[in-house]
Structure 1
Amino acid sequence: MSVEVKEGVAGKFLEVHLTGKLTKEDYQHFVPLIEQRLKDKGKVRLLVELHDFHGWTAGALWEDMKFDSKHFKDIERLAIVGESKWEQGMATFCKPFTTAKIKYFDKSEAAAATTWIQE
């Protein structure tokens, strides 16, 4: 799995780029970065871009559930940029696990995702 976290234009905006299959170790890499931003800025906005994404290992799924329960109210907006129908379904699936406004964008709409996350 390849994980890259970038700070967006606004201090409370982060981009997370995911490629391949997400592992527990990947969470140990990017969750501390998100949590530090939460500590520094309060609520954050995330743009998650999926490229050639193949889902989660069992350990990663557990880490995701722990993150979601701990940060239920900490994410203001979540933009998911993806390449497939099942990734689009993730946007709907995520809604019960957060108070964030969630929106899916096709990869051809990446610029619109960035605009929406910064509104």
Structure 2
Amino acid sequence: MIELLRGFPNNVVAIRAHGEVTKKDYDEVLIPAVEKTLKTHDKVRILYELGPEFDGYDAGAAWEDFKVGMEHFSRWERIAVITDVEWIGLATRLFSVFLPGTIRVYPHAEAAKARLWITQAA
């Protein structure tokens, strides 16, 4: 499940994933939030927090994640991923070389640092 987090500037889409993330979560929560932000901003920033209760992605969610990234390829400004899940941190770092913008991975112990970085002026 993906939930939107409140209290961020309107150029930041902040979400928290817990349980299993599905295609429906992307279709109903993440994609509409990104598209709404891109109507008023040239670039979007993403804060993606994967809590300890995160169980993984279904195949549909993994495909939607890829599609969202490619559809808005040049419009990612910053992405902060907060996770203690080792494979997600590693995969994020590996794929970051293929995406524009800056991507950083933070452990949960540094969540406040991630939130500060994602909201700071460029």
TM-score (norm 2): 0.87
Say whether 1:27 aligns with 2:26: yes
Deviations along 1:62-88, one digit per CA (max 9) or x if unpaired, are: 111211110111110000001221221
Contact residue 17 and residue 48 of structure 2 kept, 8 A: yes
Deviations along 1:69-108, one digit per CA (max 9) or x if unpaired, are: 1011111000000122122113213314421200000001
Runs of 4+ aligned residues of structure 1 deviating over 3 Å after TM superposition are: none
Q: Where do 5+ consecutive residues of structure 2 fail to align?
A: none
Aligned residues: 118
**Corresponding letter in the other structure for 1:69:** M
Structure 1 range deviating more: 54-63 or 70-79: 54-63
Structure 1 residue 38 displacement after superposition: 0.8
Q: Where do 5+ consecutive residues of structure 1 fail to align?
A: none
For residues 74 and 105 of structure 1, do their structure 2 counterparts lie closer, same or farther at Cα, with a shift above 3 Å needed?
Answer: same
Quick one: distance in 2 between partners of 1:100 and 1:69?
A: 13
- Between the aligned residues of both structures, percent identity stands at 34
**Corresponding letter in the other structure for 1:19:** H
Aligned to 2:49: 49
Quick one: distance in 2 between partners of 1:28 and 1:36?
A: 13
